Amino acid sequence: MNFLRIYNSLTRDKQLFIPNNPGEVRMYVCGMTVYDYCHVGHARVMVVFDMVQRWLRTVGYDVTYVRNITDVDDKIIKRAIENRETICQLTTRFIQFMHEDADALGVQRPNYEPRATDFIPQMIDMISALQRNGYAYQAPDGDVNYAVRKFTQYGRLSGKSLEDLRVGERLVEKTTKQDLLDFVLWKSAKESEPEESKWPSPWGLGRPGWHIECSAMSCQLLGKHFDIHGGGADLQFPHHENEIAQSEGVSGHSFVNYWMHNGFVRIDNEKMSKSLDNFFTVREVLKKYDAEVVRFFILRAQYRSPLNYSDLHLDDASRALTRLYTALKDTSGDGDELDWDEPYAQRFHSAMSDDFNTPVAIAVLFELAHEVNKRRNPMLVRQLIGLGGTLGLLTRDPGNFLKCAVGVSISDTLHIDIEARIELRAQAKRARDFSLADRIRDELLAEGIVLEDRPGVATQWRRA
């Protein structure tokens, strides 16, 4: 527990992890804005930080994990109006879809999943405190803005200076902000917006800005100074930079000790995003690939590195995961507890303790699988299953996994058809009609089904 090192985006180096309270970890991760289906970029955030919290628990920490839901913002309001439905109807539906996607990917539910609309009073309190402390002001248009230049350490997380940001400003004809760098804390209500997106406040009817949501929810649930804050690399600036300014502007002390950011998902060397219209939803991908294959694909890359999405890479991930499950076929483990003193487990532990280095940890799994294939040792089988399980992998019955189609489980009808043809082949062999038997085997192979004949046992089958 004392040897975990985490790459801290704030300091730009790996640091020994020392929690505020010994044996406890408080972690907040920015979650989804629920107006559409989750895409592969969202899946990476969910799987990466699911892996992080799993490992923290594995090494003995008592983890409080919070991942929020943004259920009111400009995009949500716009989509609800377009759909002619209420905001609640829209967000409730997509929260359910998000949970279905996360469950399919083996993502465990966080301890808390706060919705922004349940924390409006806390947001108002925080904005009021910022105003008292001289960091916030109400503009003529009714919006309440954060005065960025009042916070002298602004840009510390992203490495951007105020001068650099000024150079990058776009010319704006009209603004009610005191400075173009200022960002909104409270948005004054517009007549065109639905009533359910308006809350009373000291500054009139309105709703919170996006950045203040995470500051209020994290501080309410984890305290004003906690251990880990995570999210995608695209949130490092301005969202997380603004969170620091808001939270420290209220408390007057450090907000978060370790900032973690997972890398982008890329397609054709471009970031996957809705604005570029080059994204794939989780649901689209799961029509073609088994959900555990997608999880394995995400974890096989180091979490901070770019992840290149393609069918070619997912096909390779499918073959690789199949090799691990093949090693476990027709085996049984010896006991339930992992032996962390065993050499493979020690190397796995060392990799995961080095900033959650899953590529190296997974390489250990393949070495272990090679030994299982050679020795069929129950202790090694137990180690392979147990170590994989800390990553949320290898938790299924090997025979069931190996009978899955590339995308989804083989249907009952197709399963019956395969078994019927295997029986027909067995009858042909008994009748010494080897030509028919070979033809059935070749037809099944052409359909992606491999038959395995072993002395004394019925023919088994698996996907190719």
CA distance 246 to 185: 9
- What pLDDT score does 442 carry? 83
Question: How far, CA to CA in Å, does 98 sit from each of 42, 75, 251?
Answer: 10, 17, 33
Tell me the pLDDT tens digit for each residue of 177-187. 999 999 999 99
Q: Which of 74-88, 257-271, 333-347, 426-440 has the highest mean pLDDT?
A: 74-88
- What pLDDT score does 416 carry? 66
Mean pLDDT in residue range 66-94: 97
Tokens for 122?
Answer: 């806390």
- Domain 5-266 carries which CATH code? 3.40.50.620
Mean pLDDT in residue range 409-433: 73
CA distance 144 to 397: 56
- What pLDDT score does 390 carry? 98
Mean pLDDT in residue range 19-43: 97
The residue with greater pLDDT, 442 or 125, is 125
Q: What is the mean pLDDT of the chain?
A: 91
Tell me the pLDDT tens digit for each residue of 85-129. 999 999 999 999 999 999 999 999 999 999 999 999 999 999 999
CA distance 198 to 188: 9
Q: How confident is the model at residue 455 (pLDDT cuts 50, 70, 90)?
A: confident
At CA 266, angle to CA 262 and CA 270, rounded to 5?
125
Residue among 290, 239, 360, 297 nearest 44 (CA): 297
The residue with greater pLDDT, 174 or 327, is 327
CA distance 117 to 223: 19
Instruction: Answer yes or no: is pLDDT of 409 > 50.
Output: no
Instruction: Answer yes or no: is pLDDT of 315 > 80.
Output: yes
Please give the share of the chain, as a percent, with pLDDT higher than 90: 76
- Domain 311-400 carries which CATH code? 1.20.120.640
CA distance 29 to 9: 14
The residue with greater pLDDT, 371 or 267, is 371
Instruction: Answer yes or no: is pLDDT of 64 > 50.
Output: yes
Residue among 215, 273, 281 nearest 243 (CA): 215
Instruction: Answer yes or no: is pLDDT of 14 > 50.
Output: yes
Burial of 3-33, coded b for 16+ CB within 10 Å and e otherwise, reads ebebbbbbeeeeeebebeeeeebbbbbbbbb
CA distance 462 to 464: 6
Q: How confident is the model at residue 413 (pLDDT cuts 50, 70, 90)?
A: low
Mean pLDDT in residue range 312-329: 94
Q: How confident is the model at residue 406 (pLDDT cuts 50, 70, 90)?
A: very low
- What pLDDT score does 172 carry? 54
DSSP 124-187: HHHHHHHHHTTSEEE-TTS-EEE-GGGSTTTTTTTT--HHHHHHTPPP-S---SSSTT-EEEEE
Binding site members = 30, 214, 239, 243, 274
- What pLDDT score does 174 carry? 65
- What pLDDT score does 408 carry? 46
Tell me the pLDDT tens digit for each residue of 166-206. 755 555 556 889 999 999 999 999 999 999 999 999 999 99
Mean pLDDT in residue range 31-55: 97
Residue among 298, 294, 321 nearest 105 (CA): 294
Instruction: Answer yes or no: is pLDDT of 149 > 50.
Output: yes
Instruction: Answer yes or no: is pLDDT of 345 > 90.
Output: yes
- What pLDDT score does 380 carry? 95
Q: CB count, 10 Å around CB of 458? A: 9
Burial class of residue 140, CB neighbours in 10 A (0-12, 13-18, 19+)? exposed
Binding site members for ATP = 274
- What pLDDT score does 400 carry? 87
Q: How confident is the model at residue 1 (pLDDT cuts 50, 70, 90)?
A: very low
Distance of CA 403 to the CA centre of its chain: 27
Give me the amino acid identity at 251. Answer: S
CA distance 115 to 450: 48
CA distance 384 to 342: 11
Tell me the pLDDT tens digit for each residue of 346-397. 999 999 999 999 999 999 999 999 999 999 899 999 999 999 999 999 999 9
Q: How confident is the model at residue 464 (pLDDT cuts 50, 70, 90)?
A: low
Instruction: Answer yes or no: is pLDDT of 337 > 50.
Output: yes
- What pLDDT score does 126 carry? 98
The residues pairing with 137 across neighbouring beta strands, listed in sequence order, are: 145
- What pLDDT score does 429 carry? 82
Q: With both helix axes pointing from N to C terminus, report the angle between 120-132 and 210-222 in degrees, rounded to the nearest 10.
A: 100
DSSP 234-270: GGIIIIIHHHHHHHHHHHSS--EEEEEEEPPEEETTE
CA distance 276 to 41: 13
Q: How confident is the model at residue 224 (pLDDT cuts 50, 70, 90)?
A: very high
Give me the amino acid identity at 220. Answer: Q
Residue among 52, 33, 65 nearest 234 (CA): 33
- What pLDDT score does 411 carry? 53
Domain ranges of the chain: 5-266, 311-400, 412-463
Q: CB count, 10 Å around CB of 373? A: 15
On the question of a cis peptide bond just before residue 114, with omega within 30 degrees of 0, the verdict is no
Tell me if 123 sits within 8 A of 212, measured CB to CB: yes
Q: How confident is the model at residue 163 (pLDDT cuts 50, 70, 90)?
A: confident
Tokens for 226?
Answer: 């906690």
CA distance 365 to 349: 12
- What pLDDT score does 169 carry? 58
- What pLDDT score does 332 carry? 77
Binding site members for Zn(2+) = 30, 214, 239, 243
